[in-house]
Chain A
Amino acid sequence: MDENQQYLFQVNLKGMISLLSEHLYSNPNTFVRELLQNGVDAITAFKTIDEGHLGAIRIYLPDNNRNEMIFEDNGIGLKEEEIHKFLAVIGESSKREAFEAKDYIGKFGIGLLSCFVVSNEIVVESRSALSDKAFRWTGKSDGTYQITEISEERPIGSKVILLPKEEFKHLFKPEIFRKNLENYGEVLPMPIYLFHDQEEHWINEGGAIWLDNTASKEELLAYGRKVFNTSFLDAFPVSSSAGTIKGVAYVLPFKTQFTGKQTHKIYLKRMFLSDDDCRLLPSWAFFIRCVLNTDGLDAIASRESLVYNDLLKEAKRQIGQSIKGYLKSVGLVDHAIYQKLINIHYLHLKAIAAEDNELLQVFMDDLPFETNKGIRTFKNIREQGQTIYYTPNIDDFKQVRRIAGSQGVLIINAAYTFEEELLKKIQRLDKHLKIEQISPGSLLNTFHAVDISNDLQLAEFEKRAAEVLKPLNCTCSLKRFNPEDTPAIYVAPQDDMNTRNAKQEVSANNPLAAALGAFAPKKKVLEPVLCFNADNKLVKRMVEIKDPYVFPSIIQILYVQALLLGKYPVSDTEMNLFNEALHNLIIMGMENFINI
């Protein structure tokens, strides 16, 4: 064997065609787009030699008169050698090396292959603007092709003729084909006509109102309603010099989740590309839908998305600026829309404000927060008192709000991560404000102490209650607090995982048992507290109860009641305890002992 011999890869042409045509594209309708693209590019090319050329695309669907579909353009056409070169060599494109390559939509030389998905044979008849002769090229999906000269005289341009495969005939029905054609070609800059039987439709008669600088807001909103089936709150232009992007952004009229993708309409050189945002929108723009055209960004080979490169990143940044610019000025332009925007999209606005100081200044006062006194704007909260309290998680909020409300303290529920950040940021921007975190523990410290040194009965009560609570891993404390009708409040430490569920500890032969101590939280582990209210009627009466059965039963009932009030999970054991205690009281005829 000659070691220096160079071998060439052998390509199975048939397999290659099937691979490219069937697997590159996720949708059998793609051929419509590819044919449109070739037609548009051919017309664009013709315009470079004849500026005044009036390009048009005509499509004749199979009907009573013919079995084929004919796709015709009056673009530049192909010479014989160009047909050999561009139609027969996969991966060769007439547009890639052209001087004006950037003006063309296609460039990969694989578009025509998509026709093999729906047809076993592709016929292209073409006459070049630079030649008098016309040729017919017939390509088959087994990788062979023929080329013959057409004797009759032909106008300049190309015709692609497809005979639909049986299983794809439905795609050529007028209503379906027309929808696809509209989808891809609705805003292309040259007229597209569809013929079926004797009827003719001008597909893109409406043009692209959203690319028209003089379009009114009403027109834009009407367009948005038609395209997305939604009556939007507002519409505003967006643009980016990077990627030469222009279009319209619509503000959704309803709340959106941070999850879930919005559909958009992204066009590349006015040809529909994707209903995904193609990563053009910033991550916080969940409440926006866009119709955008880019003339400067590149599509990936399947033409179903854009190439994620530096230019796209810059475009994304500029679009983000566009949206922020709108948000900053909308309050001045139309206060009603500004109010609606805040009412509906405050969660997203907060997320944006947390990362953008300027926007924070604009929206700060009007942003709503959940408080223990309902939803309040920040302005309202600020005017309430000197210190603004917040809880960083929902558990704390649930506990704290019960206690705080009756004491006249306003507390913000800042459970979302960026809400806490937002408050901290507001604090940094305005040094006069006092914003403080509050926890059930710190609130407990604000309860008034009970002096038990002078009251033996109270001291005794605390001791006896502590004994009942000990097996439940709970400590006891006696304080005075509002509201008086709350007999006891259960206050759990931050991380409840280790205490109430101590039974889940690992066994001693677990190799990690010894190491666990090294990972224990460094702060002292607080035990949960059941805090009794010395001002409460029931508690006052209980001080007098000495019965060794009644007293523990009531304490147990209060314990479970406090868990329920604080919305803590109640285990089976605790529920049983509650039932048993009630049972005890009934048996002993509770009405004889206590009357509340």
Chain B
Amino acid sequence: MRYTLEIQKLLNRANQENIHPKDAAKLLIEAIQIADTNEDVEWGYELREDLMDTQWRLVGREEFVRAFSWMLNTYDADPENYAVEDLLWKYKWIIDELFSNPEVPLEQLDNVLSDYKRRLEEKGYGLRSYYSKLLHEALGQKEPEGSKKYLDLVNSLPIDELSDCRACEMDTEVAFLVNKGDFTAAYHKAQPLLQKQYTCAHVPVITLCQLCYLAVKNNENEKAEELFVRAEEELHEREEDSTLIVSIGLLIVFLFHNHKEKGWEYIEKYLPWAMECRTSREFFFSQYMAEALKLEDQEKEVTLELPHEHPLYTSAAIYKVKDLYDFYYKQAQRNAAQFDERNGNSNFSIQLKQALS
């Protein structure tokens, strides 16, 4: 059984406290290969769970869906052997992942959603978590009727082990009000989160970013400044969580309204995260970048260290604002078109238009 020792060694390295999640993921993949080569299904399952937990904090998570589909197969072959609640919890992540990839057709999405629903019902769980997935998508599309409908449905069903935690559910309610543009109501709703009565991995940092963005757009400058300071503080404690890139996009918009110089610093600091974004994150981040850059003098030339792999990268490191704007605007436009085609509506294009109007 020498291979188990090899796996253990890799795991020890992957579980080091200060290891970068990217490095941990690489080591876990290596361990999964060894488990698979030796046809050790239990290890394969457990390691994939670890891998998903690790990649959850990364925007670049290429193995996410593949690892989960393998787990689902393995679970179905021997359901007694694995914890269904953990599996279904990860299933929720996967549904988000499918929604946020425009290459997944609606029909496939529907199949997956009904599979998830069936599993919930079979295992005696309620449908609160199911409807919350539909709610998140409606909110992402800024679709008011669907958002209202699913929010009411979610709230009408009892909380169970698979529903989002209180902090996340409250953040969703705040997002609903943010979409409506009602800063006062959203700010009021967010109080328990802002006072940290409820917290979660990403709450209140994402709540703060949403509110900060809305505040600056609604000319609530004093509030916006205050929210920014708190958001930045929370961000400092999560310096490796690249999934926060969209929220950072919101802060960049704020900064270009009030502190352009710092805005450029943010761009330089966080662009490497954005380079690994795919799918809806790419759309939202690009949209916010375009929105922010639009506030800057288009003819201005800036010195900026772009990541090497950025399509606009030059060694001279001098860029025209207009070119940068154009790049992000087009990227957002491309993404929006893809999503709208998949979704059979124009919700993403409308969002983009509104943000830049």
Contacts and interface: CB of A to CB of B under 8 A. Distances in A.
Interface in B248-298: none
A98 to B, nearest CB: 31
Q: Is the interface of A mostly helix, strand, loop or mixed?
A: loop
A395 B23 CA distance: 13
A516 B33 contact: no
Interface string B1-30: 001001000000000111110110010011
B104 A518 contact: yes
B305 A428 contact: yes
Given A395-B30, A501-B37, 10 more contacts: A257-B16, A283-B18, A497-B66, A506-B70, A510-B69, A510-B72, A511-B115, A512-B65, A515-B112, A518-B104
Contacts of B112: 511-512, 515
A259 B18 contact: yes
A514 B97 CA distance: 14
Contacts of B44: 504
Contact of A259 (B17, B37, B62): B17
Contacts of A467: none
B103 A518 contact: yes
A496 interface: yes
B94 A393 contact: no
Contacts of B308: 424
B213 interface: no
A422 to B, nearest CB: 13
B101 A518 contact: yes
B64 interface: yes
A515 B65 contact: yes
Interface string B62-86: 1111101110110010000000000
Nearest to A437: B308
B101 A572 contact: no
A571 interface: yes
Contacts, number: 90
A259 B305 CA distance: 31
Given A519-B66, A571-B38, A416 B23 contact: yes
A510 B18 contact: no
Contacts of A495: 29, 62
A257 B104 CA distance: 43
Interface string A165-197: 000000000000000000000000000000000
Leading 4 A-B pairs by shortest Cβ distance? A518-B103, A512-B69, A511-B115, A258-B18
Interface in B147-164: none
A517 B105 CA distance: 11
Interface in A559-596: 569-572
A516 B44 CA distance: 19
Contact of B73 (A498, A510, A517): A510
Nearest to B18: A258
A416 B26 CA distance: 11
Contact of B32 (A283, A497, A519, A571): A497
Given A417-B22, A496-B33, A515 B98 contact: yes
A452 interface: no
Nearest to B21: A417
B70 A497 contact: no
Given A258-B17, A431-B315, A515-B98, A569 B37 contact: yes
Contacts of B73: 506-507, 510
Nearest to A517: B103
B34 interface: yes
A548 interface: no
